[in-house]
Structure 1
Amino acid sequence: MPAAELIELWRGNLQEGVHRGHAVIHDGRDIMAAWGDPDAIIFPRSSCKMVQALPMMESGAADAAGLGPEQLALACASHNGSVQHVEKVGAWLSGLGLGEHDLRCGCHKPWDKAEATRLTCSHHAPNQLHNNCSGKHAGFLTWTQHAGVGPEYVEIDHPLQQAIRQATAEVAGEEPAGVGIDGCSAPNFAGSISGLARSMAAFANPANDARGRGMGRLVDAMRAHPELVAGEGRACTELMRAMGGRVAVKTGAEAVYIAIIPEKKLGVALKIEDGGTRASEAAIAALLVHLGMLDEAHPIVGKLLRDPMKNWRGIEVGGLRLAPGFPGHSRVA
């Protein structure tokens, strides 16, 4: 089944481009709605960090380390590398008796403008704490220390990655279709877009067992601390704030997005085929409006979808529109 047209780009009165992709709304048993191909195989990238944190939760490692909601939110984060993110992950590692050198995520310039400017002006290089995945890796180290296994936790045959693979298969209801290496060096297990949505539905309606309680705590932490999951100016943070903590949302590289909706017991997953982040952000906003979780009049809907695009002189030149057949097309077109 081909990808569906989801988001259009218009300039003047002509359509200049279109973003195609796949989207699924799942209740944990059945697909409630779908656009494109529900069986399309994708890499979830960072959208699945809460699944990667499950071994830490259900093994007792999180409780043994005394982790609170802030650390759990950071375990699911793709953060900006701001001062608060760096300090909180650093303190977490210090509490384990570990340090920045124990991470295996690598370095990149922080996305937080203030911290990037500070580093540049002070002639300091970023370190691994600035990596957007450092919280996830601190969670990996928490499990590794608790299990008493070796430090090279990103190797595909490491016990941690085997535990993550098993958890991924069980919550998705399907075996991984393949494995790739993510930007932070951790394995990323491919699967169907419907399997990813089914996984998020499991987090929205968790069972009353060790795994389910861990799922609930991770989702609650994300909803309570949206500033740690991404950061100021980021769509994940702004969407969760706009919905008053009712929904957890998470982006992934190459235009993947998920939503976890506890009050409706639904999971949402989408992927834009061309990797365009602007389209994935617009599409998730449209789906959240469609599901009644996000006020259509909220400024974040305008920012991500409805507001006109302007050029460098402030002249309106075009904008994004929902493609025919995608929820809200008639209202937000």
Structure 2
Amino acid sequence: MEPLAIVTRDGYIESIHYGYICVVNSSSHVLYNLGDLNTKIFLRSSAKPIQAIPLIQSGAAHEFNFSNKEIAIACASHSGQKIHQETVEGILNKLDLNESNLHCGIMTPYNDDENKKLISSGKSPSVFHCSCSGKHSAMLALAKFRGFSIDDYESIKNPIQQEIIKTVAAFTDEDPNSIPTGIDGCGAPIYLMSMNKIALSYARLVMHSQTEESPYYHACKTVFDSMTQFPDMVAGDNEFCTELMKITKNKLIGKVGSEAVYCIGIKEGSLGICIKIADGNERAIYPVVIHTLKELGILSNHEFNSLKHWYNPVLKNNLNEVVGKILPTFSLNLKTQKPLSLGAKYQ
């Protein structure tokens, strides 16, 4: 682990966030890494773009006439806005299914405006508000297309989950039978993998999306194009993933996962990046993501300036006074980062 970001209060270091960064190309060559690249983490929702590939590769997306907007929400951790709810409901209508078939669970929408509307209406949240409902509707489509049970589509024992894990294995050079799995917050399987293999999966996704002779070309190009054409579907208003892809305009895809995981696939050079904040605190992940892209020379000055409010977010007290900042502190070119001490003055 290396120190990646600090929290300051009146110029003094109050907290330090440690973590890992790995940057690889599609040949599995590690270009940069901070921390042990063999450290294993759960992908969480960063897995969704890879999990969506079998939907397209199988022919299910074609059979059920999925639009790119619907593919985008299959890759999403959406914020529960009306457009997200309607898109997921539209997918279920195509499948002749309804909300009772979704096994993702119910959660409060994390879009503030939508949550306020829900409270003022006196209505309860539904499965359509769940940030993973797009992924689950895609899994239902794959199960229905294959003729497998839709009653336990989210179970690791269901053949569609085995199909998905084989795709994950193909993109990471792993044995599908040797990948440890857990249960994600939405009830679907999630994979425990090393940082370099996770980064490789994103490098492979963007590589296949640009390689017409690849058997994965159509599926990966569809995922990449869907996420970059409809970034609003991937997260929502004022959300980092949406803003990053809007501002960078077709350069990359980015997807956050719970417990402060972030993965990026960069078109130029077919690079994959995996970042993990060890303590799972999301407040540190976005400054670290932007600093990583800045150090790699991916962001133009205009793009960087457009994302600056995510780069050094300020901390305010109850009186709305600025009392501190979150600051990235690392360099990709240094294997050992400068030592940091709590309570030290930070220049």
Total equivalences in the alignment: 329
Deviations 1:264-312 (A, max 9, x none): 3111111111001111111111111222222356445421222443323
What is the CA-CA distance between 1:224 and the residue it aligns to? Answer: 0.7
Match of 1:125 in 2: 124
Q: Tell me, what secondary structure is at the counterpart of 1:7?
A: strand
Q: Which residue of 2 aligns with 1:226?
A: 231
Corresponding residue number in structure 1 for 2:46 = 47
After superposing the two structures, state which structure 1 stretch, 84-93 or 236-245, moved more. 236-245
- Post-superposition offset of 1:58: 1.0
Q: CA deviation at 1:187?
A: 0.5
Deviation at 1:127, TM superposition (A): 1.1
Aligned-residue offset at 1:327: 6.7
In 1, Cα distance between the equivalents of 2:235 and 2:185? Answer: 17
Greater shift in the superposed pair: 320-329 or 30-39: 320-329
Q: 2:205 aligns with which of 198, 203, 206?
A: 203
Q: What does residue range 282-301 of structure 1 map to in structure 2 within 5 Å? A: 282-296=287-301, 298-301=304-307
- Structure 1 residue 309 and structure 2 residue 347: aligned? no
Higher relative contact order (CA 8 A, sep 6+): 2
Give the distance between the partners of 2:55 and 2:268, measured in 1 at CA. 25
Structure 2 gap ranges (5+):
339-346
- Pick the aligned partner of 2:325 from 314, 319, 329: 319
Given the two structures, how large is their TM-score scaled by the length of structure 2? 0.90
Which residue of the partner structure matches residue 156 of structure 1?
156
* CA deviation vs aligned residue, 1:173-203 (integer Å, no higher than 9, x gap): 1245411100110010110011000000001
In structure 2, what is the Cα distance between the partners aligned to 1:49 and 1:67? Answer: 16
Structure 1 position 114, deviation (Å): 2.4
State the partner residue of 1:84: 83
Q: Residues 324 and 46 of structure 1: is their aligned pair in 2 closer, same or farther, counting only changes over 3 Å?
A: closer
1:249 to 238, 254, 262: 254
The 1:27/1:326 distance shift into structure 2, 3 A limit, reads: closer
Q: C-alpha distance in 2, partners of 1:183/1:309?
A: 29
After superposition, the Cα gap between the structure-2 partners of 1:198 and 1:142, relative to the gap in structure 1 and judged at 3 Å, is: same
In structure 1, distance between residues paired with 2:318 and 2:294 = 30
Is residue 289–residue 296 contact of structure 1 (8 Å, CA) maintained in 2?
no
1:165 partnered with 2:165 = yes
Separation of aligned partners in 1, 2:30 and 2:69:
33
Matched, 1:38 2:37: yes
3-state SS, counterpart of residue 91 of structure 1: helix
Where does residue 271 of structure 1 map in the other structure? 276
Alignment of 1:12 onto 2:10: yes
Change in Cα spacing, 1:65 to 1:318, as seen in structure 2 (3 Å) is same
CA contact (8 A) 1:23 1:270 kept: yes
Report the Cα distance in structure 2 between the residues aligned to 1:306 and 1:183, rounded to whole angstroms: 29
Worse-matched range after superposition: 201-210 or 58-67: 201-210
Q: 1:324 to 1:116 in 2, by over 3 A?
A: closer
- Of 75-84 and 96-105, deviating more is 96-105
Whole-Å separation in 2 of the counterparts to 1:5 and 1:290? 16
Which region of structure 1 is more displaced relative to structure 2, 101-110 or 317-326? 317-326
Q: For 2:268, what is the secondary structure of its paired residue?
A: helix
8 Å CA contact 1:41, 1:177 repeated in 2: no
AA in 1 matched with 2:205: F
Aligned partner of 2:190: which letter? N
Report the CA distance between 1:27 and its aligned residue.
Answer: 0.5
Q: Which blocks of at least 5 consecutive residues in structure 1 are unaligned?
A: none
Residue in 2 that maps onto 1:100: 99
Supply the distance in 2 between the matched residues of 1:212 and 1:235 (Cα, whole angstroms): 27
For 1:160, the aligned partner's letter is I
Are the aligned partners of 2:33 and 2:332 in contact in 1 as well (CA < 8 Å)?
A: no
Q: 2:295·2:331 contact (CA, 8 Å) conserved in 1? A: no
Structure-2 separation of matches of 1:143 and 1:177: 22
What displacement does 1:53 show? 1.1
Q: State the distance in 2 between where 1:258 and 1:327 align.
A: 20
Contact residue 242 and residue 294 of structure 1 kept, 8 A: no
Q: Compared with structure 1, are the counterparts of its residues 150 and 177 closer, same or farther at alpha carbon in structure 2 (3 Å cutoff)? A: closer
More off after superposition, 125-134 vs 10-19: 10-19
Q: Counterpart in 1 of 2:343?
A: none
- Partner amino acid, structure 2, of 1:262: K
User: Residues 26, 45 of structure 1: CA spacing in aligned structure 2 closer, same or farther, 3 A cutoff?
Assistant: same
Three-state SS of the structure 1 residue aligned to 2:26 is coil
